[in-house]
Amino acid sequence: MKVILRQDIPELGSAGELVEVKSGYGRNFLFPKNMAIPATKASMNAIEEVKKQSEQRQRKLRKEAEVIKDRIEKISLTTEVLVGEEDKVFGSVTNGDIAELLAKEGITVDKRMIELENPIKALGVYTLPVKVARDVKADLKLWVVKKT
């Protein structure tokens, strides 16, 4: 069954796109939630308007993401951690901790968007990638220092 998506659906397509789905998925999920419409000749003509709206929304989101990226790259965060002998850190600094530090600076970012492979367990300066939008990444500078 061919349908036209009314909104972006991960793993399926973006708004205004013509996609092939199983008929049960279309009838039982996409149509009742108003996420897609059947692909008819009339709806194919209406698809252009949906595409224009989607492009405008994407441009707006991209512009907002660029502003957030600039703010993140201008700041330098510092976190203090307890350390023992030979500067061994008690615990670790996780992406949740970093998200809280960003929130204190007025930047709201989901902790899953901070691409931290492993929690930080050593003192030092780190540059962490933060995924602001689908194709916008910012580099965040984080200082992990000894608590005095």
pLDDT in tens, 67-85: 999 999 999 999 999 998 8
Half-sphere exposure of 129 (CA within 13 A, CB side): 9
64 band by pLDDT with thresholds 50, 70 and 90 = very high
Whole-prediction pTM value? 0.66
Arithmetic mean of pLDDT, 23-35: 93
49 band by pLDDT with thresholds 50, 70 and 90 = confident
| Backbone angle region of 117, left / alpha / beta, with phi > 0 → left and psi within -120 to 50 → alpha | alpha
Taking only Cα atoms into account, the Rg of the chain, rounded to an integer number of angstroms, comes to 22
SS3 85: helix
Res 14: pLDDT: 85
Identify the helix (H) or strand (E) that includes residue 92: none
Domains plus CATH for the chain? 2-65 (3.40.5.10), 75-146 (3.10.430.100)
